[in-house]
Amino acid sequence: MRTRYLLRRGLIALGVIALVAAVAVGGYFGGKALFGTSGGEAPPAPAPRIVLHKAKGQSASDLGFPAFATRNTTRIGGVDPIDDAAGAALAAYPSSGSVPGPAAVSMVSADSWQVGIAAASLTAPPIGAPVLLGGSDSVPTVTTEALDQLAPRGTKASGGAQLFAIGPVLPPKGLKTTALKGSDPAKLAAAIASLRTRLVGAKPQHIVVASSTDPAYAMPAAAWAARSGDPVLFAGAGPPPVATLRAIHRYAGAPVYVLGPPSAVSDRAFSVIRKVAPNVKRVAGADPVANSIDFARYVDGTFGWNINDPGHGLVIASVARPLDAAAAAALSATGTWGPMLVTTSSSTLPPALRSYLQDLKPGYVNDPTRAVYNHVWVIGDSGTISVDLQAQVDDLAELVKIGSGSG
């Protein structure tokens, strides 16, 4: 049975670890009296014994550290994006202890990273619908379990819907569902934009156009869509899809930003978009890692993360699993609200990413409790992003003493 990390009530809270303090009271070991016979003084009590209990056959690494969490990182350790989506949703909406679940949940096909990225805009407030992954003829068990725990409420913000079933997915029974039909990613992305506009009663502030063919460059768009609610539309090498152009025209006046270099969204496509949106701008890095960093740094008025200093949340995913961008979107719309950065290596940090994290490294002069901190979500199991890479990230995110006396 494959391991799933759903953050259900916390790994430690489930009783995997118990710390037991056994303090001797009333005497010595070996049957000696409580008080000595010579000086009449009580001898020092023995130190508490701290005993670590674990399940039979369980290794130290199974306890969660550092495989799942370190000082400055937390891993959503699913074996695939389906698991990661469930884990991230439950991390963002820990619906227990009388804490209400989200208004709704979006379900998209586990076969379409484009639709998953576009659906991330429904994760943004005021809707707040995390993304779960399903299939056309069945619902994965982990998705069903997550839905049961999330218990989406169906509020005014979601139009009363508990579930948004987007594309060729089989919606589970018993939930009030709003369905967006179709299999064309560009059309579904435009339909998602229309749905959000109707639900929030306002046009988008900005539009992101991402690559329809190169997911490594498109992945960071999901985090921004979850943060802002801005729609993600698609284009590639040739002329943009008609659905994309129509949506841009429909929201005329909203600034348009193309994410990725010409190899991801061609100059030809950019030129066509410019005819509909004359002020379109491109945000691009030379490779997927640099592209995600450039997007995290970018700011243009109210658009962009502008993450150029410490004190932020960050999300790191592998380009090998594009749907992890959609799965993790809720982590960019709650908690520490951070951009998605991508890695092209499973075992070691790419140099550009290492340099960026070094730039963001937090520090303090006198009092560490008054400092700002970074927190990084790591998405995927250790086969996707290794524990070694996670340890490198943790070290770069750690608070350090700076200035006079820092050594």
Give the pLDDT confidence of 141-193 residue by residue, as tens digits.
Answer: 999 999 999 999 999 999 999 999 999 999 999 999 999 999 899 999 999 99
Please check whether residue 26 lies inside any domain of the structure: no
The average confidence (pLDDT) of the chain is 87
Among the ranges given (22-31, 97-106, 264-273, 335-344), the one the predictor scored with the smallest mean pLDDT: 22-31
Q: What is the pLDDT of residue 156?
A: 97
Q: What is the pLDDT of residue 96?
A: 78
CA atoms within 13 A on the CB side of 234: 28
Q: How many domains does the chain have?
A: 1
Count CB atoms within 10 A of the CB of residue 125. Answer: 14
Please check whether residue 406 lies inside any domain of the structure: no
Phi-psi region of 258 (alpha: psi -120 to 50; beta: other; left: phi over 0): beta
Please check whether residue 28 lies inside any domain of the structure: no
Please check whether residue 50 lies inside any domain of the structure: no
Please check whether residue 19 lies inside any domain of the structure: no
Please check whether residue 7 lies inside any domain of the structure: no
Please check whether residue 16 lies inside any domain of the structure: no
Q: Among the residues of 123-169, which ranges form H helices?
A: 141-150
Please check whether residue 37 lies inside any domain of the structure: no
Query: Mean per-residue pLDDT for 367-391?
Result: 96
Containing structural domain, residue 104:
63-401
Q: How confident is the model at residue 40 (pLDDT cuts 50, 70, 90)?
A: very low
Q: How confident is the model at residue 32 (pLDDT cuts 50, 70, 90)?
A: very low
Q: pTM of the full predicted structure?
A: 0.85
Q: How confident is the model at residue 98 (pLDDT cuts 50, 70, 90)?
A: confident
User: What's the rounded Cα separation, in Å, for the pair 394 and 397?
Assistant: 5
Burial class of residue 2, CB neighbours in 10 A (0-12, 13-18, 19+): exposed
